[in-house]
Amino acid sequence: MSSKRKVLLMGKSGSGKTSMRSIIFANYIARDCSRLGPTIEVEHAHVKFLGNMVLHLWDCGGQESFMENFLVSQKDQIFKNVQVLIYVFDVESREFEKDLRYYQSCLEALLQNSPNAQVFCLIHKMDLIEEDKREETFKRREAEVLRYSELAATPLQSERQNAVCQCFKSSIWDETLYKAWSAIVYHLVPNVGTMEDKLKKFGAILDADEIILFERATFLVIAHAVLREHKDPHRFEKVSNIIKQFKLSCTKMGSKLDSIQVRNSQFSAFIDSFTQNTYVMIVVPDGNASAPMITMNVKNARKVFEAIETKP
């Protein structure tokens, strides 16, 4: 498997593709995004992810004239050798039908040219919807997206069983952005299974409640092991979001984040730089857990995880 992944970022003009890319991969914070202008044709970005993997992001401008071009004259160039298509919908769009038709055309083009590509749809700008209506709106949009996905896939069903994509709701103003992107990169990282196995064993040794592995640059969750259930399903993304912002503020001060400890009477949490490409977070159900003990064990586990990461 090549370590270079071609990732298409598509969607209608102004739906927020460049904003989310900038937050996740270019250390922007949400309010900086108002400065971004519209993307002309295609912007290419190479981002290093997990050290040896390069995500080649094709940020495709969403104005209609560009879209027509992508689907006609540049069809081969754009849709060949794609590993992932991320299609962004503006939840507030007044012409959702039209967006969906564009999506269908893009998906058809993709399935012809890169039949093995994975497809993720983000229903974006969810923060504009009133909180109690979000889930309902999302469900409605998701159903429509899935319907159009099937329309695109039906003529090619012999070649591809499952063109039906996964949908996520997202907003750059809260942790949903991290949840969506973590789920996407989860599919891109090799050896995730092995990593999660090892994390489980590591957690058992430490008597931990939970161990989470974050990618170093983006702070996206790439693997986790839950040894005791926790009631908040959004905790990973919240941590990603908070720590990433803290890390950025450290960078502004000219220093580098190395580790964080948080304790109360019920638990201790340790965030520590781990392998070359990751940070690890360990939650122990003991407010007096020994920090040097955890640190020592983290250092010992580092070798094992570095070996998994560098495995081809």
Partner 1 sequence: MLRQKALVDVLGQVNTSGVDGSWLFNKEGLLLAYVGTEQKEVASNVSSALLASVWTALERRANDLKETILVLEDGVIVCTLVARSMMLAIRASKQTDLGLVRAKLHSLSAYLEQPILSISHDLG
Q: Is 307 in the site for partner 1 (CB under 8 A)?
A: no
> How far is the C-alpha of 275 from the C-alpha of 51, rounded, in Å?
10
Is position 296 an interface residue for partner 1 (rule: CB under 8 A)?
A: yes
CB of 228 to partner 1, least distance (A): 16
Bridge partners for 226 per DSSP: 210
205 in contact with partner 1 (CB under 8 A): yes
Q: Does 188 bind partner 1 (CB under 8 A)?
A: no
Classified as helix, coil or strand, 175 is coil
Q: Which of 77, 81, 261, 300 binds partner 1 (CB under 8 A)?
A: 300
CB 12 within 8 A of CB 39: no
CB of 295 to partner 1, least distance (A): 9
- Nearest 5 degrees, angle CA 153-CA 157-CA 69? 40
In the list 5, 120, 301, 305, the residue contacting partner 1 (rule: CB under 8 A) is 301
Chosen residue from 63, 74, 194, 297 binding partner 1 by CB under 8 A: 297
Query: Per the structure block, which two tokens stand in for 9?
Result: 């970022």
- In the complex, minimum distance from the CB of residue 116 to partner 1, in angstroms, rounded to a whole number: 40
Q: How far apart are CA 220 and CA 188, in angstroms?
A: 12
Q: How far is the CB of 5 from partner 1 (least distance, A)?
A: 34
* Cβ proximity to partner 1, 159 vs 207, nearer residue: 207
Structure-token pair, residue 280: 């690890």
Smallest gap from Cβ 195 to partner 1, in A, equals 17
Q: Which stretch binds partner 1 (CB under 8 A): 97-105, 167-175, 203-211, 269-277?
A: 203-211
Determine if residue 81 is left, alpha or beta; phi over 0 gives left, psi from -120 to 50 gives alpha, anything else beta.
left
Residue 289 as a binder of partner 1 (CB under 8 A): the answer is yes
Distance of CA 289 to the CA centre of its chain: 32
Judged by CB under 8 A, the number of residues near partner 1 is 15
Site for partner 1 in 57-116 (CB under 8 A): none
Which residue of 128, 293, 307, 310 would you call a contact of partner 1, by CB under 8 A? 293
CA–CA distance, 230 with 50 (Å, rounded to integer): 27
Least distance (Å) between residue 90 CB and partner 1: 49
Residue 10 burial (CB < 10 Å; 0-12/13-18/19+)? buried
Distances (CA, A) of 64 to 40, 152, 163, 306, 312: 11, 20, 24, 45, 41
CA distance 301 to 41: 45
Among residues 128, 299, 307, 310, the one that binds partner 1 under rule CB under 8 A: 299
Among 207, 249, 258, 310, binds partner 1 (CB under 8 A): 207
**In degrees to the nearest 10, what's the CA dihedral of 204, 301, 220, 165?**
-70
Interatomic CA distance for residues 151 and 154, integer angstroms? 6
Of 137 and 297, which CB lies nearer to partner 1 in the complex structure? 297
Task: Work out whether 292 is an interface residue with partner 1 (CB under 8 A).
Answer: yes
Closest CB to partner 1 among residues 212, 301: 301
The footprint of partner 1 (CB under 8 A) covers 205-207, 288-293, 296-297, 299-301, 303
